[in-house]
Amino acid sequence: MLYDAAEIGKVVDAEAALEFMKEATKLATATELEGVGARLAEKSARFRTILAPDRIDDLDAAGLADLVGRVFSLRRKASRLVRANGVDTLRAELKALLYGPDSLPGRIDRFTARVGGLERAMIVSLATEALHFVDPERFWLWTYWIWNPEARTGALKLVTHNEAVDLGAASDGEMYEKVGRAIVLLDRQGHVAGYSRSGRGMFGTDVFLACVYAVYMYTVFRLKLSQEFNRILPELPELVERVLGVHKTGATDGP
């Protein structure tokens, strides 16, 4: 997708974006953030291996647990996901999502309609993380910490001009495309302005959005909670790693 500077300027709040990154770099070094970007590339390599076209038909419960263990909101829910849907259904729906003939919105809507047993936000995260980390050049990340359509909050809202970004949608698939338009513009501007340089390609913008979310979280905690509670929140590099699913990654599971 090609965008001109006027369209980027209309959507991206460059001043806010740079200010958020300035605050983030007070709490994490460039080396630490670049390390997160490198771990995202490693996560992507793992997703591409497990979900490759010539291997997805062999996806089993262990492979699903590995994938789920790398999605922040699902990290300990592999057993619930498999119990609710079955391995065969999950494998078929992931294959249809990634390689099916339908339009992108149609594939996402099919996935979120047919996969259940968990909160809708978690199913959306599984779908969009699978798309993004299998093919990061074509697809972007949408989780509810990036944009929560119910609460109308998230990192994306904090670095875009809200009046220029329409994030209303009738379906998950339509929402994914609208979120993607804004994220792609952020990515284009971010690699020029410098706030998306912590990772290769779209991974740099993933790190940036996680930093925006982390800085926002710190601000809220400082305003609402005591210093004792502030210590509960991890340091920024760890919080960024956690929301991006690259902190102590592995196939952890639980009830």
Model confidence at 248, pLDDT cuts 50, 70, 90, reads confident
CA–CA separation, 242 vs 237, rounded Å?
9
Tell me the DSSP string of 235-255. PHHHHHHHHTT-SS-S-----
Dump pLDDT digits (tens) for 66-99: 999 999 999 889 999 999 999 999 999 999 999 9
Q: Is residue 250 included in any domain, yes or no?
A: no
Instruction: With a cut of 90, say whether residue 163 has pLDDT above it.
Output: no
- Residue type at position 92: A
In a domain, 193, yes or no: yes
Please tell me the pTM assigned to this model.
Answer: 0.92
Query: What is the percentage of the chain residues whose pLDDT exceeds 70?
Result: 92
Mean pLDDT, residues 168-196: 95
What confidence tens digit (pLDDT) does each residue in 33-62 have?
999 999 999 999 999 999 999 999 999 999
Q: How confident is the model at residue 5 (pLDDT cuts 50, 70, 90)?
A: confident
> Is residue 144 domain-resident?
yes
The pLDDT of residue 253 is 39
Residue type at position 198: S
Which of the four pLDDT bands, split at 50, 70 and 90, describes residue 251?
A: very low
The residue type at 37:
G
Q: Higher model confidence: residue 127 or residue 9?
A: 127
Instruction: Provide the β-strand partners of residue 148.
Output: 153
Q: Show the domain range for 157.
A: 5-243
100 pLDDT exceeds 60? yes
Is residue 255 domain-resident?
no
- The predicted-structure confidence for 203-225, as pLDDT tens digits, reads as follows 999 999 999 999 999 888 765 66
- Residue 126, both tokens: 């599984």
Residue 254 maps to a domain: no
Asked whether residue 249 is domain-assigned, the answer is no
Residue 253 lies in a domain: no
Asked if residue 70 is part of any domain, the answer here is: yes
Lowest mean pLDDT: which of 10-19, 57-66, 120-129, 232-241?
232-241
| Listed residue (13, 6, 41, 34) closest to 190, CA to CA | 13
Q: Which of 84-98, 186-200, 221-235 has the lowest mean pLDDT?
A: 221-235
pLDDT at 131 over 80: yes
Query: For the chain, how many structural domains are there in total?
Result: 1
Among residues 89, 92, 94, 85, the alpha carbon closest in space to that of 67 is found at: 94
Tokens of 250: 């592995």
